[in-house]
Amino acid sequence: MSVYFVVQEEVTDQEGLRDYMEAAKGSTLGRGRALVVDNDVVPVEGEWHGSRLVILEFEDEEAFREWYDSPAYQKALPMRLAATDSRGVLARGIN
């Protein structure tokens, strides 16, 4: 079953986010792919956190964990967390 890593972010340090994105390139998504990377989302309903939305799709939770828990991504992750106020969830698809 596909899973989706969904992140809402308020960017507080644009340069730090650029540094994170450069560092994160070293962590291949493996069996995943980026579906959405939007820096200017348009809220339609309710309270929304930040202006940046990222949605990554993985074929299953194991594939997500292979990427997220990898040494390469764990090295980059603190840079994103320092440059943003983030909310992240792992959501399961309906297949």
How large a percentage of the chain has pLDDT more than 70? 100
- For each of the domains in the chain, give its residue range(s) and CATH number, in order of start: 3-92 (3.30.70.100)
Give the tokens for residue 90: 């792992």
Contacts of 41 (CB under 8 A, 6+ apart): 48, 51, 52, 53
pLDDT at 31 (0 to 100) = 86
From the list 44, 57, 54, the residue with the least C-alpha distance to 92 is: 57
- Worst-scoring range by mean pLDDT, 29-33, 39-43, 82-86? 29-33
DSSP at 25: T
**Whole-structure pTM over 0.95, yes or no?**
no
User: If pLDDT is split at 50, 70 and 90, which confidence band does 67 have?
Assistant: very high
Give the mean model confidence (pLDDT) for residues 57-61.
Answer: 96
pLDDT at 59 (0 to 100) = 95
Contact 21, 7 (CB under 8 A): no
What count of residues does the chain have?
95
